[in-house]
């Protein structure tokens, strides 16, 4: 998919404000940031937003255990999350919270539209009830054996093993995750979104958006089974927004959470010149893109677009789904030292090392991938330092010592053409989110640049006074190749790229600058741009 002159609205799945971010979470945020930065470098008008998902029973119960108000706990994790994203160089234009005035207003407006358009119904249902705790149990607080595949210890709304969705009351041998006791059943009137009303629309709509074929196949399974109306209410006690006209019923977090995308956008519009309605109204020509994990496909590709259709609001144009991260071949585990919080990583290593490794391992598909710590160390040291940075450190030395940091007026244009044509292929990979393909092609070009230096041997030529001008040209060629590689890597390595711009005495570089040639130009002294990862760096993270 190629975008031309588009306003692009990019969202990331909202992290739940009930605990710290870990490096597995960071996969989707880094992928979305790389793509957003790439689109900005193409000259597109990109708005990239996120927010904390700040409602629900888990936050309420955690706050109760800690003796604080739910809003305080959510606000603290919102602050922590935002700091982690900033330090990983995730370039959100706005980071907000679903517990906000903007979100409450939009949830009320969308709910009212849904009611007016006959998309809401009520029904008295039986719910799991914890008699010991005197509360209705959210789906995720009932666990038991899956009624479809008999997998044990599954959540009350869906099975992680077979992917089936069901009601908590369908579980075999259910227990309360709070008290550990078997729940009773109790009646309560609930509000339902008529998801079945939109089944045909959703099947047609999915064929019009940019979504991976494997995700379409998964959605087809749900269509084959048949969609069910969606329960959008929860009984008190609950931390969330009250349903208008009710005293003890609240909107389910999965109604107000995705509306938080628009609430964050509205919050941004209130402090900038962004026109909110341009992105919100049905028929808008803005391009709306969701980056999500594969565990929330159902909500984003079925429930959410049905809500938007029923309320007459713009629907997504693309849904990009990432897989999960394993560490050293295993699910993240505290006992193995592989449950790595984002902040723990940041305390010990440069965030751009992980950004590069995730890019190198990423594709447009939804496959899980592994962070092998030994491979991670070798990949960073070999690719980023041994190949890319090595070009600058090798060639800048001669420019500084023999030519007063001034590049030659003469540049080999045929040599540059190899890099310019390679950039077109890399651009196409970035566009399709085939970041791993981009990284591999970039490193092949870096190999070419290093082979060029090995071939020309400026360290030998400099001993011959008659070849001094040739040394300046060779090193100028090498630094031009290095600069082109830096532009190609800028969506992944924005901080190092900024330092390269300072070193090369240039201002903010965009993709169009890849075809430029820098000659007869004064650069600054080279200072080390990156350091090798040592084994002890990894060991300290695992130990922590």
Using DSSP, state whether 162 is helix, strand or coil: coil
DSSP string, 451-508: HHHHHH-HHHHTTSGGGHHHHHHHHHHHHHHHHHHHHHHTTT-HHHHHHHHHHTT---
Query: Can you read off the two tokens belonging to residue 130?
Result: 């914890």
Compute the distance between CA of residue 34 and CA of residue 490 in angstroms, rounded to an integer.
Answer: 9
pLDDT at res. 2 = 53
Q: Is 213 exposed, middle or buried (0-12, 13-18, 19+ CB in 10 A)?
A: exposed
Torsion of CA 170, 176, 180, 185, to 10 degrees: -70
User: In the block, which residue shows the tokens 């070419």?
Assistant: 448
* CB atoms inside a 10 Å sphere around CB 31: 21
CATH 3.40.50.620 fits 1-119+195-232+244-322, yes or no: yes
Compute the distance between CA of residue 263 and CA of residue 276 in angstroms, rounded to an integer.
Answer: 10
Report strand pairing: 154-155 vs 120-130: unpaired
Using DSSP, state whether 112 is helix, strand or coil: helix
Element (H, E) at 61: helix 57-66
Question: What residues does 158 pair with on adjacent strands?
Answer: 165
CA gyration radius for the chain? 27
Q: CA neighbours within 13 Å on the CB side: how many for 246?
A: 18
Phi–psi pair at 463, nearest 5 degrees: -75, -15
Compute the distance between CA of residue 108 and CA of residue 347 in angstroms, rounded to an integer.
Answer: 42
Q: Calculate the alpha carbon distances from 222 to 32, 92, 201, 202, 398 in Å.
A: 27, 33, 14, 11, 64
Compute the distance between CA of residue 44 and CA of residue 104 in angstroms, rounded to an integer.
Answer: 31
**Whats the size of the chain, residue-wise?**
544
Element (H, E) at 263: helix 253-269
Query: Can you read off the two tokens belonging to residue 525?
Result: 């002294």
Query: Can you read off the two tokens belonging to residue 406?
Result: 């001034």
Using DSSP, state whether 412 is helix, strand or coil: coil
pLDDT at res. 169 = 87
Report strand pairing: 318-322 vs 287-293: parallel
Question: What residues does 99 pair with on adjacent strands?
Answer: none
Contact call for residues 503 and 391 (beta carbons, < 8 A)? no
Contact call for residues 198 and 222 (beta carbons, < 8 A)? no
Query: Can you read off the two tokens belonging to residue 232?
Result: 């959008």
To which CATH superfamily is domain 385-515 assigned?
A: Isoleucyl-tRNA Synthetase; Domain 1 (1.10.730.10)
Compute the distance between CA of residue 25 and CA of residue 409 in angstroms, rounded to an integer.
Answer: 48
Query: Can you read off the two tokens belonging to residue 236?
Result: 């008190």
Query: Can you read off the two tokens belonging to residue 299?
Result: 């909500």
pTM: 0.94
pLDDT at res. 5 = 61
User: Which residue from 7, 47, 22, 41 is spatially nearest to 492, judged by alpha carbons?
Assistant: 41
Element (H, E) at 441: helix 435-456
* Cα–chain center distance at 405: 40
Question: What residues does 50 pair with on adjacent strands?
Answer: 95
Compute the distance between CA of residue 21 and CA of residue 9 in angstroms, rounded to an integer.
Answer: 24
Contact call for residues 145 and 151 (beta carbons, < 8 A)? yes
Helix 435-456 with 390-403: angle, nearest 10 deg? 40
CATH code for the part of the protein at 121-193: 2.170.220.10
Domain ranges of the chain: 1-119+195-232+244-322, 121-193, 385-515
Compute the distance between CA of residue 45 and CA of residue 264 in angstroms, rounded to an integer.
Answer: 17
Cis, bond preceding 286 (omega within 30 deg of 0): no
User: In the block, which residue shows the tokens 């994990």?
Assistant: 293
User: Which residue from 471, 462, 496, 469 is spatially nearest to 482, judged by alpha carbons?
Assistant: 496
**Percent helix, strand and coil across the chain, each to the nearest 5:** 50, 15, 35
Local confidence pLDDT in tens for the 544 residues of the chain: 455 668 999 999 999 999 999 999 999 999 999 999 999 999 999 999 999 999 999 999 999 999 999 999 999 999 999 999 999 999 999 999 999 999 999 999 999 999 999 999 999 999 999 999 889 998 888 999 999 999 999 999 888 888 788 888 899 999 999 999 999 999 999 999 999 999 999 999 999 999 999 999 999 999 999 999 999 999 999 999 999 999 999 999 999 999 999 999 999 999 999 999 999 999 999 999 999 999 999 999 999 999 999 999 999 999 999 999 999 998 876 666 678 999 999 999 999 999 999 999 999 999 999 999 999 999 999 999 999 999 999 999 999 999 999 999 999 999 999 999 999 999 999 999 999 999 999 999 999 999 999 999 999 999 999 999 999 999 999 999 999 999 999 999 999 999 999 999 999 999 999 999 999 999 999 999 999 999 999 999 988 8
């Amino acid at each position: 998919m190629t975008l031309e002159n588009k306003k692009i609205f990019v969202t990331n799945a909202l992290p739940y404000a009930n605990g710290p971010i870990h490096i597995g979470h960071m996969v989707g945020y880094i992928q979305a940031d790389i793509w957003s930065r790439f689109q900005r470098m193409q000259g597109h008008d990109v708005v990239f937003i996120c927010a904390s998902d700040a409602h629900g029973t888990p936050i309420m119960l955690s706050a109760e255990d800690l003796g604080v108000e739910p809003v305080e706990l959510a606000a603290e994790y919102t602050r922590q999350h935002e700091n982690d994203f900033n330090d990983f160089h995730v370039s959100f234009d706005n980071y907000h919270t679903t517990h906000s005035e903007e979100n409450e207003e939009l949830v009320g407006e969308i709910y009212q539209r849904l009611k007016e358009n006959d998309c809401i119904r009520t029904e008295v249902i039986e719910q799991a009830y914890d008699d010991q705790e005197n509360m209705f149990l959210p789906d995720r607080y009932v666990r038991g054996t899956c009624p479809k595949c008999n997998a044990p210890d599954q959540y009350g709304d869906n099975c992680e093993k077979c992917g089936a969705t069901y009601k908590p009351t369908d579980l075999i041998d259910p227990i309360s995750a709070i008290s550990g006791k078997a729940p009773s059943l109790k009646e309560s009137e609930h509000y339902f979104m008529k998801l079945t009303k939109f089944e045909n629309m959703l099947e047609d709509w999915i064929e019009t958006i940019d979504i991976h074929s494997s995700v379409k196949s998964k959605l087809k399974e749900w269509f084959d089974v048949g969609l069910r109306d969606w329960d959008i209410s929860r009984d008190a006690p609950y931390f969330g927004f009250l349903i208008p006209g009710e005293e003890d019923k609240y909107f389910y977090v999965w109604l107000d959470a995705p509306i938080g995308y628009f609430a964050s956008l509205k919050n941004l519009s209130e402090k900038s010149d962004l026109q909110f309605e341009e992105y919100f109204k049905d028929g808008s020509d803005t391009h709306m893109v969701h980056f999500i994990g594969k565990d929330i496909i159902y909500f984003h590709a079925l429930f959410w677009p049905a809500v938007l259709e029923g309320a007459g609001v713009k629907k997504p144009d693309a849904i990009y789904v990432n897989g999960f991260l394993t560490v050293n071949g295993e699910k993240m585990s505290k006992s193995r030292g592989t449950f790595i919080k984002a902040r723990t990583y940041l305390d010990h290593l440069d965030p751009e090392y992980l950004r590069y490794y995730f890019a190198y391992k990423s594709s447009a598909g939804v496959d899980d991938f592994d962070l092998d710590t030994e491979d991670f160390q070798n990949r960073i040291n070999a690719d980023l330092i041994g190949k890319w940075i090595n070009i600058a450190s090798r060639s800048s030395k001669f420019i500084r010592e023999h030519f007063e940091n001034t590049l030659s007026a003469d540049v080999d244009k045929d040599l540059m053409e190899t890099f310019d044509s390679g950039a077109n292929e890399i651009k196409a990979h970035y566009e399709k989110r085939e970041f791993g393909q981009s990284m591999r092609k970039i490193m092949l070009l870096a190999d070419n640049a290093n082979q060029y230096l090995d071939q020309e041997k400026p360290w030998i030529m400099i001993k011959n006074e008659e070849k001094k001008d040739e040394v300046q040209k060779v090193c100028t060629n090498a630094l031009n190749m290095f600069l082109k590689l830096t532009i190609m890597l800028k969506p992944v390595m924005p901080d190092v790229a900024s330092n390269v711009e300072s070193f090369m005495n240039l201002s903010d570089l965009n993709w169009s600058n890849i075809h430029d040639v820098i000659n007869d130009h004064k650069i600054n002294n080279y200072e080390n741009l990156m350091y090798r990862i040592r084994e002890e760096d990894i060991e300290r993270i695992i130990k922590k």
